[in-house]
């Protein structure tokens, strides 16, 4: 249970940061997927408001990073804010970004894997992995692996569990488990336990001419985010590191900028209240900061509280199987 059960969908990220100011001041924080008018910016501004030691913002687009960094420097001129370019669809740039981060800091207290992408048509990562699985899961998997030594260093001198890894997921995970027999979404035959939720609306069940299922691809990647978190919880608690997965809620942002009208309408019906970027950041802030969560208190959060996820997203056997596949796709072991 969280420290503030009264918090919910209208809670401000800035309010959470102010409440847990002691958990931010003097600590190093890194956030991926930072862009204006999105959850990443809301999260960055919330952390910046309470005097972190070094705040590192990561994104693939320099102009977007610079815009958010400029806003932070204007509002909070004393904050040491740094920017790093990284494209999660390229493992080469992920490795370069991680090396750059290691040149900036010797420890990392809080890692927020906030970046996410949606696509309506088939795209591939540089390594020929379906892009939503590749950029939304495999990329953060590799980035976290490379930064783990910095997290372990922070954990040595922090209360057990205060060093955190927060992974952004989505309620959309309920539409698909991991398609181990078809993770690149090529419409191959899969066993019953890997089939998507049924029945799907026409928009969410769309299949393109080449067999691509955009919504199923997104849902699979969001399930992967929760399973990744589960495996981290089970193996890093002994090192003083805790992890949580977060659904930020329906947020008015540019995440779905490529959607056509049918898809946009279907998505609009999934939420009764659309949050501001600041409100969208609040659950991330709770997952990153609440001292009551130093001990493993749950897995998946929504509207600042713990929330049920699909059974397959909390299955340790599926998590272990996904971990093995992820290691294969980055070409190296990720031992915890």
Distance CA 216, CA 232 (A): 24
Element (H, E) at 63: helix 62-75
If you search the block for the tokens 């294969």, which residue do you land on?
328
For residue 113, give the 3-state DSSP assignment: strand
- Catalytic annotation on 218? yes
- Quote the CA–CA distance of 129 and 134 in Å, as a whole number: 5
In angstroms, the CA 322 to CA 148 distance is: 19
Closest to 217 measured CA to CA, from 138, 120, 300, 324: 120
The CA-atom distances, in angstroms, between 310 and each of 8, 171, 175, 219, 256 are: 21, 9, 9, 12, 23
Among the options 218, 244, 300, 312, which is catalytic? 218
Inter-residue contact 323 to 334 (CB < 8 Å): yes
Measured distance CA(300)–CA(248) in Å, rounded = 11
Active-site residue list: 218
């Amino acid at each position: 249970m969280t420290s503030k059960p009264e918090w919910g969908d209208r809670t401000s990220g800035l309010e959470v940061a102010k409440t847990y100011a002691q958990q931010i001041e003097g600590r190093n924080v890194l956030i991926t997927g930072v862009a204006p008018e999105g959850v990443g910016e809301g999260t960055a501004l919330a952390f910046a408001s309470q005097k972190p030691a070094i705040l590192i913002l990561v994104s693939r687009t320099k102009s977007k990073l610079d815009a958010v960094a400029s806003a932070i420097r204007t509002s909070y001129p004393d904050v040491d804010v740094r920017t790093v370019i990284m494209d999660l669809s390229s493992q080469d740039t992920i490795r370069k970004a991680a090396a750059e981060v290691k040149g900036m800091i010797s420890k990392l207290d809080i890692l927020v894997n906030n970046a996410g992408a949606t696509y309506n048509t088939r795209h591939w990562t540089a390594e020929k992995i379906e892009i939503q699985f590749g950029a939304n899961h495999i990329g953060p998997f590799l980035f976290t692996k490379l930064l783990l030594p910095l997290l372990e260093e922070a954990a040595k001198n922090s209360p057990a569990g205060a060093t955190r890894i927060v992974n952004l997921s989505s309620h959309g995970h309920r539409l698909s488990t991991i398609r181990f027999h078809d993770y690149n979404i090529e419409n191959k035959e899969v066993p019953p336990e890997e089939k998507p939720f049924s029945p799907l609306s026409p928009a969410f069940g769309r299949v393109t001419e080449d067999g691509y299922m955009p919504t199923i691809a997104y849902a699979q990647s969001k399930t992967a985010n929760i399973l990744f978190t589960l495996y981290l919880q089970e193996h890093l608690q002994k090192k003083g590191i805790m992890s949580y997965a977060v659904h930020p809620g329906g947020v008015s942002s540019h995440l779905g900028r490529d959607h056509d009208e049918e898809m946009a309408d279907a998505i609009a019906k999934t939420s009764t209240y659309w949050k501001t970027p600041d409100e969208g950041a609040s659950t991330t802030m709770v997952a990153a900061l609440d001292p009551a969560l130093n001990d493993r208190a749950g897995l998946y959060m929504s509207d600042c509280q713990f929330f049920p996820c699909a059974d397959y997203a909390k299955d340790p056997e599926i998590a272990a199987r996904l971990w093995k596949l992820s290691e294969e796709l980055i070409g190296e072991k990720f031992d915890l």
